Amino acid sequence: MQEKLERRSFILTLLLVSVAFLLLIKPFFTPIFWACATALIFYPVYRLLMQRFPNSPNLMALLTLFMCIVLLVIPVLVVATSFINEAVTLYHRIQEGQIDVSKSFEQIRSAFPRVNSTLESIGVDVEEAKQRLMGGVMNAGSFVAKNAIEVGQNTVNFFVMLGLMLYLTFFLIRDGERLVNLIIHALPLGDEREHLLLAKFAEVTRATIKGNLVVAITQGGLGGIIFWVLGLPAPVLWGVLMTLLSLLPAVGAALIWFPASIYLYAIGEPMKATILLAYGFTVISLVDNLLRPILVGRDTKLPDYLVLFSTVGGLFMFGISGFAIGPLLAALFLAFWEIFMREFVHPEDVLMPQKPEDL
């Protein structure tokens, strides 16, 4: 009886201490998550370096981290700075009347009179839509400008978080294998289940970061380049927006380049509009079909509808990190239910691989 009471008391204390520790590190959730994701992506590089220099784990981890900074961190900082500058500049140009949203709307109406009459025939108030569009543009610009100012004010906080992320990434790269074995040994879920869940975590994280993000960046980059070539304003801004939209299945970068081509037709630039349309359909849209199977693999891909809902939900709940956290939670949700179905409902069926891939 005494032993049972002591065991329960210890477990309760363990839970309380664990919850207190989680609350303690809650402000650092974002850098911790991205440190884990970055270490997972670059760990194969570290393992390859260790095969050639097995006696220098610290140096190889540092070299891997340096590659991460050069290939990932610096480009993101450069693009983010350009994005903020172009967004603020565009907002000020609209505010000062250098860009007339109302005039652009009227040009589109004049260029496509049939669309205008069709909308009016089904009861759509075009004037009200125009006012809503102008209000939406101003609100969006104000939001971007306000957040850009806040980003500038929080620069010190941002670089502190970035430093913590890189610091933790170094140790996760160097000690990752030992930490995974420690987690498997500590969790009371059974080694087989833990291997399956950790394999799913690694699989989906790599698929989301390495696959979806690379595809999105490629599409956004190609879109920004064609905007720059055609002389459209703020190409970096639109390229970043196309990158973000490319993370969402069934939405994609077409939400930017297709309306832009319509606008070019409306203002009397049919050649540029045709080039943008052809480029969008043949280059930007085909990137997804060509790169995603190579980078992700068809077997690891979640259903598009699940990716869409989990990504949007993740963005609402976790901010920009949600594009990775959302699909990860969805994949773990499915993994737990697959284990449950296999072991408790249909134990004779094997719904998940018995030997997960190496982490």
pLDDT at 129: 65
Say if residue 99 is in the same domain as residue 228.
Answer: no
Rounded distance, CA 311 to CA 63, Å?
32
Tell which residue, 272, 281, 267, has the closest CA to residue 231: 272
- Single pTM value for the model: 0.72
Whether 20 is in a domain gets the answer: no
Rounded distance, CA 14 to CA 166, Å?
30
Tell which residue, 242, 235, 236, 237, has the closest CA to residue 258: 242
Give per-10-residue mean pLDDT for the chain (359 aa): 78 90 90 89 90 89 93 85 77 70 66 65 64 65 61 73 93 87 76 75 74 83 91 86 79 84 84 91 82 61 76 82 82 80 65 45
Say if residue 232 is in the same domain as residue 336.
Answer: yes
Rounded distance, CA 89 to CA 145, Å?
9
Whether 1 is in a domain gets the answer: no
Last residue of a domain, one of 160, 186, 212: 186
pLDDT at 354: 43
Last residue of a domain, one of 158, 186, 214: 186
Identity of residue 349 = D
* Structural domain count, the chain: 2
Say if residue 78 is in the same domain as residue 65.
Answer: yes
Q: CB count, 10 Å around CB of 178?
A: 9
Last residue of a domain, one of 166, 186, 206: 186
Say if residue 145 is in the same domain as residue 203.
Answer: no
Asked if 224 and 239 count as a contact pair (C-beta separation under 8 A), the reply is yes
pLDDT at 210: 73
Whether 147 is in a domain gets the answer: yes
Say if residue 277 is in the same domain as residue 354.
Answer: yes
DSSP string, 242-309: HHHHHTSTTT-THHHHHHHHHHHHHTT-HHHHHHHHHHIIIIIHHHHHHHHHHHT-GGGPPPHHHHHH
Domain that holds residue 105: 28-186
Asked if 255 and 245 count as a contact pair (C-beta separation under 8 A), the reply is yes
Say if residue 176 is in the same domain as residue 305.
Answer: no
Say if residue 256 is in the same domain as residue 140.
Answer: no
